[in-house]
Amino acid sequence: MYFAQTVVSLAAAALVAFSPTAQAFTTACLYQEYKCGYSMVADYGYNNTELIAAVNKTSIIPPLSTIQLLQVLYRCEDAVGGIAGNSYCIAGCVDMRGRPEDDQCAL
């Protein structure tokens, strides 16, 4: 019994050691979903550093303030929580409750 438990904890330690870069979010976004910044923070636990990095990847979005980062529409680009800024919503980002994959910029 003791031996088996040791093997299990070693395996868990190895998984942690080999997982990709440390992430702060608590839940990975759904692959290919579009989501507002404020929902990324509230629903998934992404932090400002992660939102800035996502916006930085998208050259068409200029540097934004912390408040503006929350009004950016982000695209979930992989299954492990990677996000990229899709567009900055000048008139606000709209959380499409009930259709979680498709938040939109207000027109």
Ligand X SMILES: *[C@@H]1O[C@H](CO)[C@@H](O)[C@H](O)[C@H]1NC(C)=O
Nearer to ligand X, 64 or 96 (CB): 64
**Do residues 26 and 45 lie in contact, with contact meaning Cβ atoms separated by under 8 Å?**
yes
Binding site for ligand X (CB under 6 A): 22-24, 47, 49-50, 52-53, 56, 63
CB of 99 to ligand X, least distance (A): 27
CB of 54 to ligand X, least distance (A): 9
Residues 6+ apart with CB under 8 A from 4: none
CB of 40 to ligand X, least distance (A): 12
The closest residue (CB) to ligand X is: 24
